[in-house]
Amino acid sequence: MRKRPLGKTGVEVSEIAFGGVEIGMPYGIGVESASDMPTETEAIHLLHMALEEGINFFDTARLYGHSEAILGKAFHDRRDQVIIASKSVYFKDKKGKIPEYAYLKKIIETSLQESLAALQTDYIDIYMLHQVDEEILENEGICRIYSDLKASGIIRATGASTYSVAQTRKAIAMGMWDVIQLPFNLMDQRQAATFASAAQAGIGIVVRSVLFKGILSQRGRNLHPALKEVESHVRNYDQFLSDSLPDLPTLATKFALSYEEVASILVGIDRMEYLYNSLEAANGKYLDVNTLSKAKELCYPDPSFLDLHKWDKMGWLR
């Protein structure tokens, strides 16, 4: 497993990052309850095997159910071997307002202390804002709190998890976020427009949604009727499959890693087969110029429709 520099943070991370949401809570197509998830023992074994196979980057969050606690049990005795990214709780109130500074500081610091306890560690490598919007990114109090946490050494780097291109550009322009986690995949390639400016600013790019919540895999078949056109479009990628690109997840993984500005890609891993598939795909041999160009041309024609949150609320992912 090759490693790439994570922007100017001074750390190198594996090209595959272990996405921790699936081991902490029901998540993804076809996962309805704990019975569809690995047990804690199985999850810890997965984490240990990932580390042994060269993955050193693990992503979690306070909002990912038992994920932090499972990572803590897996890595408390080998903390120096792993890079952990976690995220604070969401702190806007029911009216969508950001609390006053003193209360906001208490929320973020309490969330951080809870994460540290669950992870069984005294520092977090990358501590990120979760579910950001432009108002959150621009808030001076939030910036001050995160800057102070970094200066104290309790976190090594700051980060923001963005959704839109506008949010990513705002985060880059602010100059205080060391890492940006953003959605990018074969279907939705809009964030590629931000890669060069992020790299120029020394910001580490971590890509999520590479498999588009499983739609860019075998799970992306027999979707809800409302997603008929999406399912039809996904079949267009079959033209790329070959001995070196045997399946859609491999193509999707190699596509994202073909961008040199990308430090690491998050892959949800809740089965051993998914771990080994990811390891095999991230072998340092990615798409050639011609294949990459053709794949770029096959992005979904209406990316604004690709709203996983809305689809989930509508019941289209069940």
Per residue in 216-242, pLDDT tens? 988 788 899 999 999 999 999 999 999
φ, ψ dihedrals at 14, nearest 5°: -65, 150
**CA nearest to 68, candidates 130, 126, 11, 120:** 120
Instruction: Count CB neighbours of 221 within 10 A.
Output: 11
Element containing residue 26 per DSSP (H, E): none
CA dihedral sign of residues 256, 202, 269, 308: negative
For Cα atoms 25, 28, 30, give the angle at the middle one, nearest 5 degrees: 105
pLDDT at 28 over 90: no
pLDDT of residue 37: 83
pLDDT recorded at residue 142: 96
Residue 17 scores a pLDDT above 70? yes
Calculate the average pLDDT of the chain: 95
64 is an active site residue: yes
Q: Which of 28-32, 99-103, 156-160, 293-297 has the lowest mean pLDDT?
A: 28-32
Is-contact 31 37, C-beta < 8 A? yes
Q: How many whole angstroms separate alpha carbon 201 and alpha carbon 305? A: 30
Residues 181-213: tens digit of each pLDDT: 999 999 999 999 999 999 999 999 999 999 998
pLDDT of residue 27: 76
Whether 25 has a pLDDT exceeding 90, the answer reads no
Mean predicted confidence (pLDDT) in 6-17? 97
What H or E segment, with its residue span, contains residue 173? Answer: helix 165-174
The reported pLDDT for the residue numbered 29 is 67
- Quote the pTM value: 0.94
Using pLDDT thresholds of 50, 70 and 90, give the confidence band for residue 57. very high
CA gap 133, 179 in Å, rounded: 16
Extract the runs of DSSP E, i.e. beta strands, from 34-154. 57-59, 83-87, 124-129
CA pair distance 102, 51, nearest whole angstrom: 39
Please give the pLDDT value at position 121. 98
- As given in the structure block, the two tokens for residue 65 are 């159910």
Check the CA dihedral 152-157-160-166 and report its sign: positive
User: CA–CA separation, 266 vs 177, rounded Å?
Assistant: 19
Catalytic-labelled residue, pool 64, 127, 286, 300: 64
CATH of 3-314, one of 3.40.630.30, 1.10.3720.10, 3.40.50.10470, 3.20.20.100: 3.20.20.100
Cβ neighbour number for residue 38 with a 10 Å cutoff: 18
Rounded to 5°, the CA angle 211-169-295 comes to 35
Residues of the chain above pLDDT 90, percent: 89
Residue 305 has pLDDT above 70, yes or no: yes
Question: Which residues does residue 59 pair with via DSSP β-bridges, in sequence order?
Answer: 19, 85
Mind giving me the DSSP string for 63-98? Answer: TSTTHHHHHHHHHTTSGGG-EEEEEPPP---TTSPP
The one-letter code for the residue type at 206 is V
Q: Residue 204's pLDDT is what?
A: 98
Structure confidence by residue, pLDDT tens digits, 87-121:
999 999 889 999 999 999 999 999 999 999 999 99
65 pLDDT exceeds 90?
A: yes
Judge whether residue 69 has pLDDT over 90: yes
256, 206 in Cβ contact below 8 A? no
Helix, strand, coil distribution of the chain in percent, nearest 5: 45, 15, 40
